[in-house]
Amino acid sequence: MNFSVDPESHVPLHSQVEQLLRTMLRDPGYRSGKLLPPETKLASELCVSRNTVRASIDRLVNQGLLTRKPGRGTWATPSGKRASRLESWESFTREMAAQGIEVQDFQQRYGLRAAPAPVADAFGVQRNTRVFALERVRGFDGKRIAHFLSWFHPRLELSGDEDFASPLYVVLEERCGVRAECSRERIVAVPADKGLAEKLEVEAGTPLLRRVRRVSDAGDRLIEYAVNHYRSDQFEYTIDIKRGDG
């Protein structure tokens, strides 16, 4: 690969280094436990500061992609739980691809459904109003990891023939002329009920992470109400918090 960064790019250097490291981790050698080069060597080869390299590695350690032990070095974390950043909400497929993971679709249903109370109330329509919903069971490595259920606001005027092979928000922007700008989210731990247990191929009562999200456009108008569930034995969330200047 082209192991270099562009100091003239609008993309911060630490982000460029992070992406290079993600690409390195796709190499079979690193995925099998090969140690990453020392920070000083990486910094020298990239012509960046050691602090920049360290910051990039820290982020990947926090996301569960790298393991670092003093005196031993840094290596790719063995396959197990996958981490998702709360900030990365626009495309599950793209986020996993950045970690070298190919997402599999095990089930997809799309069509009109009666909106349950939380969805109807959020959209400001009568309960049981039929609105378009997209249900998907997705995962990787042959495992069913997540159940996604998205409800779309009636004002989008979807036709029912939309092809969601492309990322969801790309489809909505191209077909409906709306752009997702904000996602307000709530995450709680819940036990799998019988229906979710069957879809994710786990036992009823298995701990899941429930992620309820309300996605709006630039005018703060609701586009989507989604209820997503993830197997907690295979998935975790990370979030980066930066100290302000004040």
DSSP string, 100-111: T---EEEEEEEE
DSSP string, 210-234: EEEEEEE-TT--EEEEEEEEEETTT
Name the DSSP letter for residue 155.
G
What is the pLDDT at residue 239?
A: 62
7 vs 233: CA distance, rounded Å: 40
pLDDT in tens, 38-65: 999 999 999 999 999 998 888 788 767 7
Which residue ranges of the chain lie beneath pLDDT 50? 1, 80, 83-87, 246
pLDDT in tens, 144-186: 999 999 999 999 999 999 998 888 888 888 888 888 888 898 9
Q: Which amino acid is at 2?
A: N
Q: How far, rounded to the nearest angstrom, does the alpha carbon of residue 77 sit from its chain's CA centroid? A: 18
| Alpha-carbon distances of 213 from 71, 90, 164, 185, 195, rounded to whole Å | 42, 11, 19, 4, 21
Name the DSSP letter for residue 116.
P
* pTM score, whole prediction: 0.64
- Using only the alpha carbons of the chain, give its radius of gyration: 20
What is the pLDDT at residue 99?
A: 65
What is the pLDDT at residue 86?
A: 41
**Residue that is written with structure tokens 């090969």 in the block:** 34
